Structure 1
Amino acid sequence: MKKKILLATAGLLSVIVLGACSGSSNQDIATMKGGKITVEDFYNEAKKEQNNQSLVRNMIIYKVFENAYGDKVTDKQVDKEYNKQSKQLGDSFESQLQSAGYTKKSYKEYLKQSLAFQEGLKAHVKITDKDLKTAWDSFHPEVTARIILASSEDDAKEIKKQLDDKGDFAKIAKEKSQDTTTKKDGGQIKFDSQSSTVPTEVKEAAFKLKDGEVSDVITATDASTYQASYYIVKMEKNSSKGNDMDKYEKELKQIAEDTKMADQTFSSKVISKELKKANVKIKDDSFENILSDFLTTNSSGKTTTTDSSK
């Protein structure tokens, strides 16, 4: 399972450029017969670009949340997230940071802002009985299984034939699985309904299996790249959730919280509230509409929040 960190290369570069521009507006960038291009000229053009408009909007939002909730984020949390991403990406982590223009220090600063934003959303979450019931409907407790990620659909079909002919699943997984995380352990893996370690299609197929059963070839499609992957699963130990919700209260609350925080309508309402609380005012007319998704402007030109109760 390949992972890639999302690093805003253009965004970080724009921060540097715009920051430099604002401090030396009279400096010439280029001179020529009949005129010149100054830093101020460049700045005035650069801030019209949609990418830079989006960048400034995100800078404002992240700054507001960092000011309000940054004290809830510890250095230990930042280091943990940094190390987690470093471990997931392995040798490519440092090169991805460098290509995006981040240093270790600046990326940790970004992570702190991101974590502060999450803390801000979490502070507004109120879990209801209805939320818990919805979480329960989709919940499946942790299972132990083995997976094989095939190199192609044809390869998956061939592996399935070998398994049907009483081939050893663990041995074949070690030899042929493309999943580098699990192949050394014969494909063994644990996951529940909320895990992101395997695709949704694989989880759904696995939960239907009895102990010892092997699935047919499962096609999983990446939502961002639309690339298909082909899996085979053997269930080692399935678990029924039964009828007692209270037994999984902690898990259900976490699912309900994660679901609410991932909801765009909810996060927009929270952002709107926090921008109002921080009394954000846009001083540069070039950016007057960058918060229009969260704030409205009345006829007098004063900025107000949208009605987050709707």
Structure 2
Amino acid sequence: MHRKIIWVVIALAFVSGLTYLAVSGSKTLVTTDNGKITQSEYYDEVKQSSAGRQVFAQMVINKVLDKKYGKEVTASSVNTQYNTLRAQYGDSKFKQYLSQSGMTEKQYKQSLRDKQVMQAAVKANYTISADKLKEAYENYVPDTKISLISAKSEDDAQAAIDALDSGESWDDVYKQYSQTNSAVSGTGQMAAFDSTNTNVDSEIRKAAFNQDNGVYSSAPVKGSNGTYYVVRTDSMADKPAQSKVEQKLKDKLTNDFINDTNNQDAMKKIIGKLLKKANVNVKDSDLKSALSGYYTAS
């Protein structure tokens, strides 16, 4: 996820630079005793770099996909994903994460929206077999509610578990050991999620789905973001019929397909077909090759 976010930051900077250049012409960016660098010189250098071409390609892809599939992504779905991710960090760590990534909350939400638009585009052009759906349903875990202590350290997480083991109430232990987290309830309870929800850390899901109701993790759970948790499984819904969750299963399979690096060629093929349908015409000769990998794949 960090790598994707870095690319979003580069893209935002690149777009801002192009817009400013269009308005300001070739203004001077820096002066030295040995000469100056103008905006046009900077732009020429960036667009000929590998990173610049990749960012340009992503800008074009986002533009094409957003026009066709952007209406399928709502502000509500973006906010839900944002809040679920934020809930696993705690307020201070999430701010630190955004700062380290060089992003504002608005930019981070935009990156989530771009990803959801990509998922909508792939889902519309990716065939999922009945066997894959059946297997996904067999492994499906229904909506589960948990309470989460986001500890400052592994030692604090263990101390919280020890306190619970000694008979202290969850509420008291949560107040003492969990970091401030405005994205969850006052006792750390998160919104219900099922096994198709990839916004919840895989280690948290694993702990939650393998415990009985009312049971908390016997050892600190280390999330992929480095935070240590105590996970309590509060309740789990009955497993619904496959037809009731089929759309969720398809979304999960699509997301898995996108995130699997072995499917890069297949992804490029899908995107290439969409670019051809959109009649993309690159005017700048230095950037014409930026999309060639998608056209040859399709």
1:185 Cα deviation after fit: 3.3
Q: Distance in 1 between matches of 2:147 and 2:110?
A: 39
Q: Distance in 1 between matches of 2:220 and 2:211?
A: 13
Unaligned runs of 5+ in 2: none
1:1-310 pair list within 5 angstroms: 8-21=8-21, 40-70=40-70, 72=71, 77-78=74-75, 81=78, 116-178=117-179, 180-181=181-182, 184-189=185-190, 190-196=192-198, 198-222=200-224, 227=226, 229-239=227-237, 241=239, 245-246=242-243, 248-263=245-260, 264-265=263-264, 266-296=266-296, 306-307=297-298
Q: Distance in 2 between matches of 1:102 and 1:20?
A: 20
Q: How many pairs are equivalent? A: 282
Moved more, 174-183 or 206-215: 174-183
Q: Distance in 1 between matches of 2:28 and 2:165?
A: 74
Larger Rg: 1
Q: Determine if contact 1:28/1:39 at 8 Å carries over to the other structure.
A: yes
Q: Determine if contact 1:78/1:111 at 8 Å carries over to the other structure.
A: no
SS of corresponding position for 1:294: helix
Moved more, 233-242 or 48-57: 233-242
For the aligned residue pairs, the C-alpha RMSD in angstroms reads: 4.4
Distance 1:110 1:182, change over 3 A: closer
Distance 1:25 1:80, change over 3 A: same
User: For residue 54 of structure 2, what is the amino acid of its counterpart?
Assistant: S
Q: Distance in 2 between matches of 1:210 and 1:277?
A: 51
1:159 Cα deviation after fit: 1.9
Q: Which has the higher helix share?
A: 2
State the TM-score, normalizing by the size of structure 2: 0.71
User: For residue 181 of structure 2, what is the amino acid of its counterpart?
Assistant: T
SS of corresponding position for 1:159: helix
1:270 Cα deviation after fit: 1.4
Distance 1:83 1:182, change over 3 A: closer
Q: Determine if contact 2:208/2:232 at 8 Å carries over to the other structure.
A: yes
Q: Distance in 2 between matches of 1:145 and 1:22?
A: 51
Q: Distance in 2 between matches of 1:40 and 1:138?
A: 55
SS of corresponding position for 1:146: strand
User: For residue 232 of structure 2, what is the amino acid of its counterpart?
Assistant: K
Unaligned runs of 5+ in 1: 297-305
Q: Distance in 2 between matches of 1:165 and 1:79?
A: 41
Distance 1:164 1:272, change over 3 A: same
Q: Distance in 2 between matches of 1:6 and 1:131?
A: 33
Deviations 1:127-167 (A, max 9, x none): 32122123224321112333322222222222222222222
Q: Percent identity?
A: 28
